[in-house]
Chains A and B, each alone.
Chain A
Amino acid sequence: MMNRILATARTEFRIALRNRWVAIAVVLMALFALVLSAAGSAPTGDLGVDRLSVTVASLTSLAVYLVPLVALLMSFDAVAGEVERGTLPLLLTYPVARAEILVGKLLAHLAVLALAVAVGYGLAAAAAFWADPASLSGLPALARLGWSSLLLGATFLGAGYALSSLARRPSGAAGLAMGLWLGAVVLYDLGLLAAVVADDGGWFTTTAFPFALLANPADAFRLYNLAASEATAAAAGVAGAANTIPLWQSAASVLLWPLLALALATAAFRKVTP
């Protein structure tokens, strides 16, 4: 089983390399991280925290948008593309389970994401160290941001595979993927914000709102990273909410979402008849 998964991952990584997805993801992350480092250089020093911790807080806000976007861009074609190229029927006659195919693709795409995240965060961290040698104390927060970014990526990769299986055509899958990104990452928060404002401290704000945040993998990711590094709470917008939700809850959401997304993707892929 492991051999088939690794073979699939190797081939998919090679395809990602040839299709320039590796280059696009790395350049995108590096560019945004550098811009962020340059733009965020002004207000530090006054907060009493090291430079790297501040950088991690900014990177968290960046990753919430960028990581799901890159993940969806890489994954929307995974099943629909095979259907369109006509390569799926032959593949499915091989002694390889559909779940193994998806896990293989997931490993390859996660490797691309890991590369992009390592380069992007690495550049930002290097800039922080260059400006402030005390940044060493921010390293745990950076590591946490790194692996939770990969889990966030895995969640949206899985969601992308599920949409790709449901759409069965690349154009449809691309539309669904962009819809999901807009809905989960942008509109969801706006909706919550509107509801909180309208509710004015009532039942929704006290009871439903924390669960609504935990239910969204992107929000859970942000909560987890901000709550875990308390030093950056001052620099964060959702700080109030982050403090009311126990750390283990946001951590659980970050950990469980990838599994749930992969299960959804497998269920959707099983329904595809070549």
Chain B
Amino acid sequence: MTSTLTISQLTKSFSEVKALDAVSLTVEPGSRVALLGHNGAGKSTMMKIILGLIPFESGTVEVCGAAPGSAAARTQVAYLPENAAFHPALTGQEQIAHYLSLRGESPGQALALLNRVGLHEAAKRRIGTYSKGMRQRVGLAQALIGKPRLLVLDEPTSGLDPVSRRDFYALLDGLAAEGAAILLSSHALTEVEARTDRILILSQGRMVASGTLADLRRMAALPVSLHVTARNGYASEIAAALPGAIRAEGDVRLNCAQDEKLGLLARITGFGDKVADIEMVPPSLEDIYSHFSRRDGQ
């Protein structure tokens, strides 16, 4: 199966600063890929290059088998900009009808599209009166026009409440199931965890990690934290027996590498009745994200 989006060794600088440094990636049909990174990591720059909005210095970019920004590519790519903006004097329905016409679709579908993103009731109100979340939905509605083969979504869930966010990912699941390739960016790993097939982490213009969440967990190899609750009076004894353990308010806390986890558990259960409870805390998504995005001396 050929990729919908292929980027290889892409480099782009703004004067002296390298915004993207030899970045390579592919997005296959039907896959949902999340692009993570801090502000200024190069996410938006990369998206604008994929859309053909800004030029790049070296490397190759192929979008649906065509050059980025070419007429052939633009007919098959949909984009949702960060902070989607529209003319405030138009109503949601008029704006979507306009975008439908530009893609050669019937403007009569506007209401149905707005309905799909839950904006049916506000369709006849001017966009100037919309909240940020509502504008984001108008942006999402226009990205759904005409079965795009690639969706480029720049922080699509910013400004959406948790319920809308879940609806949004459900929409994406449907699109991916129909074969659309999806590239979306986000600040937070917690936002994209279960809803994407692959995660890419950009840091200062370089791709520092790529894989599924399980892959990233494994690669990061961050320590697991164990919280042992001792029965009355036994906390010191347990802490003394376990190397590296510290006492915190009657609890005993210690960290261990992933591969030492089972051996340690066996030792702790060896204390028998002296242990009241054990809690295992795996590294959080934020910990994993920080691990990769701060590796470069930040």
Q: Which residues of A contact B (CB under 8 A)?
A: 3-4, 6-8, 10-11, 14-15, 18-19, 85-87, 89-90, 92-97, 273-274
Contact = CB atoms under 8 A, between A and B. Distances in A.
Given A18-B89, A89-B48, A94 B103 contact: yes
Contacts of A8: 98, 102
Contacts of A7: 98, 101-102, 107
Interface residues of B, number: 30
B79 interface: yes
Contact of B90 (A11, A97, A274): A11
A92 B54 CA distance: 11
A200 to B, nearest CB: 55
Contacts of B52: 93
Interface string B74-90: 11011101011111111
B84 A90 contact: yes
A105 to B, nearest CB: 12
6 contacts: A4-B102, A14-B89, A87-B86, A95-B71, A95-B75, A273-B53
Residue with the greatest number of chain A CB neighbours at <10 A, chosen from B75, B87, B90, B103: B87
Given A7-B102, A95-B102, A86 B75 contact: no
B28 interface: no
A5 to B, nearest CB: 10
Contact of B81 (A3, A6, A86): A86
Contacts of A86: 81, 83, 85
B53 A89 contact: yes
Interface in B189-230: none
A11 B94 contact: yes
A15 B102 contact: no
Interface string B224-246: 00000000000000000000000
Given A92-B53, A95-B71, A87 B102 contact: no
B85 A85 contact: yes
A90 B99 CA distance: 10
Nearest to B80: A90
Contact of A14 (B48, B94, B101, B102): B94
A15 B128 CA distance: 12
A3 B53 contact: no
B102 A93 contact: no
Given A14-B90, A87-B87, A274-B53, A96 B81 contact: no
B104 interface: yes
Nearest to A87: B85
B90 A89 contact: no
B180 interface: no
Contacts of A96: 102
B51 interface: yes
B184 to A, nearest CB: 15
A15 B81 contact: no
A54 B60 CA distance: 67
A86 B94 CA distance: 18
Q: Which of B83, B90, B98 has the most chain A CB atoms closer than 10 A to its own CB?
A: B98
Given A18-B89, A86-B85, A95 B94 contact: no
Nearest to B100: A7
B81 to A, nearest CB: 5
Interface in B122-145: 139, 142
A94 B99 contact: yes
A97 B74 CA distance: 10
A95 B103 contact: yes
Nearest to B44: A89
Nearest to B86: A87
Given A3-B104, A86-B81, A87-B86, A93 B74 contact: yes
Among A4, A8, A90, find the residue whose CB has the most chain B CB atoms closer than 10 A. Answer: A90
A90 B102 CA distance: 12
B89 A15 contact: yes
A7 B78 CA distance: 19
Contacts of A6: 101
A136 B143 CA distance: 57
B167 to A, nearest CB: 22
B101 A15 contact: no
A22 to B, nearest CB: 12
A93 B53 contact: yes
Most buried by B among A15, A85, A94: A94
Given A86-B81, A95-B74, A11 B104 contact: no
A15 B90 contact: yes
Nearest to A82: B87
A221 to B, nearest CB: 32
Contact of B98 (A11, A92, A274): A11
B87 A15 contact: yes
